[in-house]
Each structure stands twice: as structure tokens, then as C-alpha cells.
A and B are shown apart, each in its own frame.
Chain A
Amino acid sequence: MTDGGRHSRVAVVIFPGSNCDRDALGAIEAVGGEAVPVWHQSRDLQRCGAVILPGGFSYGDYLRAGAMAAHSPVMKAVRRHAEQGGAVLGICNGFQMLLEVGLLPGAMLMNRTLRFICREVYLRVERTDLSLLRTLTVGQVLRLPIAHKEGNWFADPAVVRQVETGGAVAFRYCDAGGQVRPDANPNGALEGIAGLVNREGNVLGMMPHPERRISRLLGGEDGKALVRALVEAA
């Protein structure tokens, strides 16, 4: 547990091809956590209370984004940690991994435009009653960058209904005023879904990058509260 000190250990798993791991490590330190790099061959999470699966192109996105990483040795430990209620944040490629291992529902298709999209988007916060989201307010609009080619979230209609009625949507793409509209949806994700949370509230996956918005000098601080919530959950 956190006491404002540096006892909240958060693991950042590094896969071959991860490229947001250093930003994630830095973000954890910036909010007072202890950041622990963990190699994907590791079979445990080195006594960390929370874990980030960072963005990047693990295994070169071979086969499907996140598919190979989902079978890395460390993912057994991540699954165990999640099943015991431990906090997990999957960002971008990390979100794709959480879908591939089935910790969150659905799958990612190629963006509707077929392009890699790297730009700022707006997100509307849909829930705050869970520990990983409690530093935010409902309806709050966050401005965060996205950088992906497979972020077009898809599931069959029954699963989409479950996700909606079960309150699994953490974030939706919106305009600057917080309106969820088709033209504010960068990649074609169903229902404008940008982030999902599991029923227990301890596993959060999102395409946008909070770890890249920790400092005003580097584009803004809209990601800081989320990283802080994760560190406090560790």
C-alpha cells in the first residue's frame, strides 16, 4: 500500500519490441512509485503490487498485434496476479495483449482507415467507481495521444451488449466538448470504445497513452492521474 512514500512497486513488462517501456517507468517514478522493469521471460512479477503492459510492437506484431506476447512466460504471472485482484494496466499494445489472453473481451481489427494513426484524441471518462479510475471524474475529458494501426475494437453483438450493460467501458473517444460522435472516433472502434475495464475493476486496457502525458513540458499532464491511481493500487 502507498503511504506517499516509494513503497508502491509497479512492474513494467518489457517484451522484444516494446517501445513505451521507458516512458511507463518514468511515469511511475514521476508520481512517487517504484518502477520495476520485468523481462518477458520472467516467471514472476518481482513482488510488485501492480503491472503495466506497455505499448510498442511486441514480436514485430507478427501474426496479430499482441498474439505472441500473450504466450510469453511472464503472462502466466500477469494472469495469476490479475485473478488474485492485482492491478493491471495495458496500454496500446498492452491492451491488445489483454484482449488476446482474454482478460478483457473483444479483439482489435485494423483501423478503419487502414493507416497507422499518431495524434491527440479526446476521451470521455465513463466510470470512476473503481480503484484504477478513482482519480478521475465521470464525464471528464482527457486529451491523450494515440499511436496504433490496430485499435478498431470489435466484438460480436452479444458481447458488445454485455460490455455496455456490464459497465465495462472506461473511456470513449469524443470531441473536445465531451460529445461521443462518429467523427471523433479515430479508428472505427465499436461504440467509440477506447478503454475497457473488467468486472472486478482491477484490469484496465486502453489504446491512448497516459504515460506520454505526465509533464507539461512534454505536451500535458492528462495522463498523470491515471498513473497515480495505478501506483496507489499497488
Chain B
Amino acid sequence: MQVEVRVKLKDQVLDPQGEAIRRVLSNLGYGEVGKVRVGKLMLLEVAGDDREQVRERVEEAAKELLANPVIEDFEVRLP
């Protein structure tokens, strides 16, 4: 099954990239955009039918490699 891992900077971490995007959006006339945060979306093709087991394994992988807990949060989404 295809599992989504969404990694984003923690709320208290400054995101200069998001801020740069917000500024350009504002210049383009999208003044209503107040804040932009940039994250990563990873799509993992994972073998297995046991949803809970798949979730557990992917969460383990996210903790070990896909996200850095010092600066990032992650969320695992199953189909």
C-alpha cells in the first residue's frame, strides 16, 4: 500500500523559506496569505496487509531517518 509521510518543521522553528514564499505571494497580489510553512511529502510503497503493523513500521522509520525530531514533526497517513 502507498503510505504518506508528511514532515514539517515544528511550529516554534523559523521557516525562512516559507517566509520568502509568503513575500512573493504578497507581491503577486495574494495579500490574504498570512503565513507559509514548507514541509516534505514522502510516498512510500510498503508491502504488507496489516495496517497497524505497516503504520508501526513506517513510524519507526520516520523516527529513525525520515524526520529529525529536534526540528521536525511527522505524520503517517495510510490509504
Chain A residues with a Cβ under 8 A of chain B: 63-64, 67, 71, 99-100, 106-107, 109-114, 154-156, 159, 188
Task: Judge if B65 is at the interface, Cβ distance under 8 Å.
Answer: yes
Nearest B-chain residue to A108, judged by Cβ: B71
Known: A63-B65, A71-B65, A156-B12. A107 touches B70 (CB 8 A): yes
A119 to B: closest C-beta gap in Å = 19
Interface contact B17-A107, CB-CB below 8 Å: no
Interface contact A154-B68, CB-CB below 8 Å: no
Specify the main secondary structure of chain A where it touches its partner: loop
Interface contact A155-B65, CB-CB below 8 Å: no
What 10 A-B pairs have minimum CB-CB distances, sorted nearest first? Answer: A107-B70, A107-B71, A107-B68, A114-B16, A112-B16, A64-B68, A154-B71, A114-B20, A106-B70, A114-B17
Interfacial chain A residues near B24, Cβ < 8 Å: none
Interface size of B by Cβ–Cβ distance < 8 Å? 11
Specify the main secondary structure of chain B where it touches its partner: loop
Tell me the bound Cα distance from A156 to B14 in angstroms. 12
Name which of B13, B65, B70 has the most chain A CB atoms within 10 A of its CB: B70
Task: Judge if B66 is at the interface, Cβ distance under 8 Å.
Answer: yes
Nearest B-chain residue to A107, judged by Cβ: B70
B11-43 Cβ-contact flags toward A at 8 Å (1 or 0): 011101100100000000000000000000000
Tell me the bound Cα distance from A154 to B12 in angstroms. 11
B60 to A: closest C-beta gap in Å = 14
B15 to A: closest C-beta gap in Å = 8
Among A109, A113, A188, point to the contact of B71 (Cβ < 8 A): A109
